[in-house]
A = this chain, B = another copy of it.
Amino acid sequence: MTNSVDSSRIRGVLVPVVTPFDRELRPDPKRFVRQCRWLLDQDVGLAAFGTNSEANSMALAEKIALLDALVEAGLPTGRMMPGTGCCALTESVELTRHAVRLGCAGVLMLPPFYYKGISDEGLFRSYSEIIQRVGDTRLRIYLYHIPPVSQVPISLPLIERLLKAYPGAIAGVKDSSGNWDNTRAMLEQFQPHGFDVFAGSEAFLLATLRGGGAGCISATANVNPGPIARLARTWRQPDADDQQRALCALRDIFQKFPMIPALKAAVAEYAGDPDWAWVRPPLVELDDVQRGALLSALRAAGFAMPGLRSSPVHP
């Protein structure tokens, strides 16, 4: 279970980019590219097609088209870790293979999440089949542990088994359990073997970095990317705890609302583009009261998204 530490691995802060839809609820590649470019400028990597991207409300073909749009626009694939775990084995293989061929630094992979009460043996076979079918030494899988949503946990014994069987392909984890004891156990057991642990939100960023982890992948990096990335760069400085507190205070504002609609309402407001507020069913956009409450709380906190409004569509 040794995994040589690879300094080229993607680290730091990544963002599950919210997906722009038009009024027909079609993904909008033009606004997507623009948003991703702005996020990269804030020094966060792109974990497109995450939970907060409404990835699982999009068809396979829609995800492939959006990823292609980023690459065609010249955005750096070395800063990309798209979500590629689908319910269907064959869809996970197709999307993962596509991401690897494009040169993405890694893929963030949900377990198949329809069937419940799944055994570790079944999940091992699932990841194993995908790795073998993709059959590419460039593949770097980051396991996506998010039991509150997927309802299919990735246990520590499963990680140990996968890491032993595929030390090259199994590169790390995003722990969205919200359970620090679990993140700490991953840091202690697996990070020393080159298995990169990302916290599931910036609330655990400082603790994760102090524990030797790789960074965080966080919903609120859609709206607060610069300050979160700054903590990842400067966490050894004396003001790190103050930075962490400030990040949590802003995060707390968003957590009072349904997260994805709230993120999109904020982007819509600060980009000056109301169409950003669209979500696909089964999600529902914020109502006027929620939206008003969110925006006044943000104003009261002195919140800004610097450079977003002036960010050019075709730079």
Using known A-B contacts A25-B89, A148-B116, A151-B151, determine if residue A122 contacts B60 with beta carbons closer than 8 Å: no
What is the CA–CA distance of A111 and B126 in the complex, to the nearest angstrom? 24
Write the chain B residue with the least CB distance to A90: B59
Residue-wise interface mask of A (107-136) relative to B, using a CB-CB cutoff of 8 A (1 in contact, 0 not): 000011111101101110110110000000
Chain B residues, CB < 8 A from A113: 114
Q: B90–A58 contact, CB under 8 A?
A: yes
Contacts A111-B282, A125-B281; A151 near B116 (Cβ below 8 A): yes
Counting every copy of the chain, the complex holds 2
* A62 in contact with B87 (CB, 8 Å): no
A281 and B122 contact, CB distance less than 8 A: yes
Interface size class of A (residues with CB under 8 A): 35 or more
Contact flag A112-B282 (CB < 8 Å), given A25-B89, A87-B87: yes
A113 to B118, CA, bound (A): 16
Asked if A88 is at the interface (CB within 8 A of a chain B CB), the reply is yes
When C-beta atoms are compared, the residue in chain B nearest to A127 turns out to be: B281
CB-contacts of A78-121 with B (<8 A): 87-91, 94, 111-116, 118-119, 121
